[in-house]
Amino acid sequence: MSLIEETFMHRFVRPQVLALALLWMILTPALALAAGEAGFAFLKLGVGARPMGMGSAYVALADDPTAVYWNPAGLASAEGTQLLVMHNEWIQDFRQEFAAVSGSLGPGAFGFGLSGFYTSEFEGRDDVGTLTRHFGFNDLAVTGAYAYRFAPQAAGGVAVKFIREMIDQENATAVAFDLGGRLGIGKTGAALGAAVQNLGGKAKFESESFRLPTTVRAGASLSRAISSVGGKGTLSAEVRKAKGDDTRFHLGGELDYKERLALRAGAKFGYDDEKLSFGVGLIRSRFHFDYALVPLSSDLGTSHFFSVTARL
């Protein structure tokens, strides 16, 4: 048995051992290796309270700093210079942080993002339950992206990211690339978007290598003014296929009232533990405050996303 397997199969002890063990089988490459699945699965969690409240159906909508994650081409549609910070109070003491900035650069736009996923220290115990030590876990991704506008409503983008995962004293690193495109359709309020995420080779954890979670996303969105409420309605749909996963579908909707208040909801199809999501947004001058609630089944709890976006 390898060091990684020993650590997680025999010495990982917390109050909710069963639930956490199931989570680790999904979310860490150390255990996914045995099944031949992709590692760095935290890259599939998603970022931003607005996208998460809309069921993660965002590849055609991305027009803010979160485009460095969802679709780098969307940076070309981000207005001015923006800064976004996000905190995700996930489940069982796991937390996710994300920060990104975007701005115009020449005929296009740039973006930088920093993403982290971590938890508090674990207790290391031997086979008879004796406490032997404490050890940590954290994931990190640093992303730089650029989008080029080919036409008033057409853009392409590329992103490069450095990824690192650390468990105890062992760590794995990799470099990955994202490619994306976004196309607006005249004055209809409709847009098409597509992205390929996490392209790259294999990473190595101790002596075992694993693949990156390469993901293909494609979708469409439609935004229309709703005069009866003095605002705008937006619908978005997306299909997603990640390496090692089945094809999955995402739907999202948003009702924006006078660019002051936004109500959101979304649905996911093909997932075992995620079905619905809900969100709300407040706009005050140059600041956007967003929140998303993502319930998880199997008694795992609920994920809470908080985002603040500032137009600089």
The residue ranking higher by pLDDT, 298 or 208, is: 208
Q: Which residues pair with 166 in a beta bridge?
A: 138, 171
In tens, the pLDDT along 146-156 reads 999 999 999 99
Domains of the chain (ranges plus CATH)? 3-311 (2.40.160.60)
Confidence of residue 13 (pLDDT cuts 50, 70, 90): very low
Q: What is the pTM of this model?
A: 0.85
| Amino acid (one-letter) located at 42 | F
Report CA 265 to chain centroid distance, whole Å: 17
Render 255-272 in DSSP notation, one character per residue. EEETTTEEEEEEEEES-S
With 80 as the cut, is the pLDDT of residue 1 above it? no
Q: Lowest-confidence range among 180-184, 233-237, 255-259, 298-302?
A: 298-302
In tens, the pLDDT along 119-153 reads 877 777 777 777 777 777 889 999 999 999 999 99
Q: Which residues pair with 115 in a beta bridge?
A: 98, 141
Q: Mean pLDDT over all residues of the chain?
A: 86
With 70 as the cut, is the pLDDT of residue 12 above it? no
Phi and psi torsions of 238, nearest 5°: -150, 145
pLDDT the model gives residue 22: 34
pLDDT the model gives residue 292: 98
Q: Which residues pair with 234 in a beta bridge?
A: 223, 254
- Radius of gyration for the chain, computed over Cα atoms and rounded to the nearest angstrom: 20
* CB-based contact 96:84 (threshold 8 Å): no
Q: Lowest-confidence range among 28-32, 147-151, 196-200?
A: 28-32
